[in-house]
Structure formats: structure tokens, C-alpha cells
Amino acid sequence: MSAPAHPSAQPFLPLTRPTIDEETIAGVADVLRSGWITSGPNVKALEAKLSEYCGGRPVRVFNSGTCTMEIALRIAGIGEGHEVITTPLSWVATSNVILEVGAKPVFVDIDPVTRNIDLDRIEAAITPATRAIIPVDLAGLPVDRDRLYAIAKKRNLRVIEDAAQSFGSNWRGRRIGTFGDFVSVSFHPNKNITTIEGGCLVMNTEAEAKLAEQYRLQGVVRSGFDGMEVEIVGGKFNLTDVAARVGLGQLPHLDAFNAKRTEFARAYFEELAAPAARALGLGLPPADFSQTNWHMFQVVLPEERLTIKRAEVMAQLHAAGIGTGVHYPAIHLFALYRRLGWKEGDFPIAERVCRNILTLPLFPTMTRADVTRVVAALTKILSAHQKS
């Protein structure tokens, strides 16, 4: 589905776009000419580099940042009869994987400030069937790892960090991925680095990594020239060498990309502090410039003060040549989840935020002037639609 053409005189400013340099493009051409285009030496090289970035922990790459979480659940032995605690404010992948392995998602409402799972509410949601927590670092803002792991340790739960959005973020100076239990990262084109599609899983032991390799490819274990054994049901989740070569060209830039994102996030705060913008009553994200990788810059519209809804705000921004996004609708209100018993009112904080959250353009190759343009357009639209 393509969006309607916009009549603005200025070039369209997308919500995001990947930054891929010419060296990487040439490298991809080399892989394509090499005679080996699916999983091979580039996958191995990317895994080694990612492991280095994650403090030497075992890392394996996959063809999404969704199967990584499903595989982590399987490695942890989580399935039928088990419950997994997570947030209703995420990409639906986060809870779909829980259903996929036959377990039950247990949603916990969010903290309205961080927009991440409310750690104060987790313990009340734990039952004898609870096996794991999947926290999400929305927009790259890390969930409090000290408190998270204190709960997990006390209640003997596994943690699968959905760090799809927080690669390059840190918790109190410790890079996400270098510590903790399972850490799942996505390399979708909208994320801070990409392999087109893809993701990686950081694990604790080589034994877990071996199991992950089996789940990744039909459960197969090879030995010698002709040995093959299959003991578990695996899927088809391997990353191609072409994609891995893209990742090898991206990873060295991750910290620089994140620095640019942080610079533009700061600019958003500056522009939004101007009196006309401030008067709008927008909900802003925490102004964290030391831990967050600024995967996204998201405002929450003040629905009680506006005569138009979010879709109309987005339409008017689009007409002004500005792309925006919604990350995300509340998971528990999707038809699938309603059929499983959830309903409006179950998680009122998440529901209000999810109805009104709006992601503004933020990517390394935008400009300071783009930020000014976005805030000016948003201010103009919202000012014109205030309830009297």
C-alpha cells in the first residue's frame, strides 16, 4: 500500500531510512560474485564481530529479530502450561513468540514516564506457571536492569531481553548485550543497524549457542564429511551471507549512527521547549542522553486538548511532506488477543499512550533543519486544533 502523494514543495522527509555506504554496497557485490551467497564465511565473521561488541558472549545471527526470541524461549524449555510476562506496548512480535511456543503471555501495564513495562507491577503478575519475563527497551530506552534482574533472580525466572530497538544503548555504562540472560536484537531496516532482515541472539553458554544453531536449521547437526543427525524440531531461520555482509558494513558505524540520533533527539527537545511548542502539552520521552541509542523520538498527543485524532495529525504532517509512524497499537487489543480474552480497560496506561503515541522522523542522515521543520509543522497543526 503506498501513501498518497504529498503536495509539499519540500522533499519528503521519511520517518527513517537506513544508511548504507558504498564500501558495503561493493562488498555485497563481491559476495554475490563469490559463488557462496547463503550462510557461510560472512555469517561467521558477523557473529565474531557481534560477540566482540557484546563482551565476548556467544552470539548467533538469524533471519529476524523475532525468531531469536522464539528460539530463546525454546532453549529455556518454555512452552505449554507456562506463562511469560511482557508489555502490551511493543511490536506484536514480542508476544506472538510466546503464543508460538504454546505459552501464555501475561501483560503488565507500562510506566507512563519510560513507556516500558512497569517493574513495580511485575511481582503481582507472577504465578507458579511463570517462567520468564520479556522486557522491551522501547525507542532504545533501557529497562532498569538492576531491578529487572533482582526480580528475575528472586523469583527464579529467565529473562529474554527484547533489545530489538536498544542495540548500542547501555545500562549505567554497561552496554546492552554484554550482560544479563538472553538478549535479542533486530536488524530490520528501521533499526539502528540493518542486515535488511535479520537479528541476533546473545546467549550465556556455548551449549545454548549449539542448541540455537539446531533450532536455526531443521535441528541438523553435522559431523565429518558425511555425518548428519537430527534430534529436535528446528526451523529455517538462517541469515544469508549477502545479508551478513551488509551487517559487517554496518556494525563499525553503530556508535556513530547512535551519536547522530542522539544529536537530533537533543535538537527535538530544544525545539519543543520553545513557548509555542511547549504550550501544546505534548508528552515527551525521558531526556536521557547517556544510556539511550535514540532508536525513535516519540511524543504522546494530548487527546483531551485536541479536536482531531492522531490519524488526522499524521495525514496533515504527510501533506506537509513529513513521514510519521505509530509504534505501537496496544497488543492486547488486536483481534487475536481479544479472542484470547483481553479487552479495553485491562491496561489503561498503555492504552492511552498507544492511542496517542506518534513517532517523529529520526535517522542519522537527516539534518538539524529537518528537526526544526517537523516541530514547526506539528506546532502549526496542533495549535490550529485546540479545544476551546
Ligand X SMILES: *Cc1c(COP(=O)(O)O)cnc(C)c1O
Residue 77 CA to residue 56 CA, distance in Å, equals 25
| DSSP summary character for residue 161 | E
**158-162 and 182-186: which strand pairing?**
parallel
* Interface with ligand X, residue 186, by CB under 6 A: yes
Residue 366 CA to residue 192 CA, distance in Å, equals 14
Determine the straight-line distance between the first and last CA of the chain, rounded to whole angstroms: 37
Q: Please, what's the largest Cα pairwise distance for the chain?
A: 77
Radius of gyration of the chain (CA): 21
List the one residue from 42, 64, 116, 291 that touches ligand X (CB under 6 A). Answer: 64
Q: Which sequence positions are flagged as catalytic?
A: 191
If the CB atoms of residues 28 and 141 are measured against ligand X, the closer one turns out to be 141
Interface pattern 190-219 for ligand X (x via CB under 6 A): ---------x--------------------
* Interface with ligand X, residue 90, by CB under 6 A: yes
Residue 186 CA to residue 74 CA, distance in Å, equals 18
Residue 31 CA to residue 8 CA, distance in Å, equals 41
Q: How far is the CB of 95 from ligand X (least distance, A)?
A: 10
List the one residue from 65, 88, 105, 168 that touches ligand X (CB under 6 A). Answer: 65
If the CB atoms of residues 199 and 364 are measured against ligand X, the closer one turns out to be 199
Residues 122-161 that bind ligand X (CB under 6 A): 136
Task: Return the C-alpha cell found at 105.
Answer: 503471555
- Residue 51 has a CB neighbour count (10 Å cut-off) of 18
Residue 301 CA to residue 52 CA, distance in Å, equals 41
Residue 8 CA to residue 317 CA, distance in Å, equals 10
List the one residue from 86, 165, 194, 316 that touches ligand X (CB under 6 A). Answer: 165
Q: How far is the CB of 49 from ligand X (least distance, A)?
A: 18
Which span sits near ligand X by CB under 6 A: 87-95, 123-131, 360-368, 375-383? Answer: 87-95
Which span sits near ligand X by CB under 6 A: 10-18, 86-94, 150-158, 368-376? Answer: 86-94
* Interface with ligand X, residue 93, by CB under 6 A: yes
If the CB atoms of residues 86 and 262 are measured against ligand X, the closer one turns out to be 86
Q: How far is the CB of 190 from ligand X (least distance, A)?
A: 7
Structural element, H or E, at residue 85: strand 83-86
Residue 326 CA to residue 359 CA, distance in Å, equals 6
Q: How far is the CB of 237 from ligand X (least distance, A)?
A: 10
List the one residue from 94, 130, 238, 293 that touches ligand X (CB under 6 A). Answer: 94
Residues binding ligand X: number (CB under 6 A): 14
If the CB atoms of residues 115 and 131 are measured against ligand X, the closer one turns out to be 115
Q: How far is the CB of 163 from ligand X (least distance, A)?
A: 9
- Beta bridge partners of residue 299, listed in sequence order: 358
Q: How far is the CB of 384 from ligand X (least distance, A)?
A: 32
Q: Give the CA angle between residues 85, 180, 199 to the nearest 5°.
A: 80
If the CB atoms of residues 197 and 263 are measured against ligand X, the closer one turns out to be 197
Quickly list DSSP for 69-112: HHHHHHHTT--TT-EEEE-SSS-THHHHHHHHTT-EEEE-PBPT
Binding site for ligand X (CB under 6 A): 64-66, 90-91, 93-94, 136, 162, 164-165, 186, 188, 199
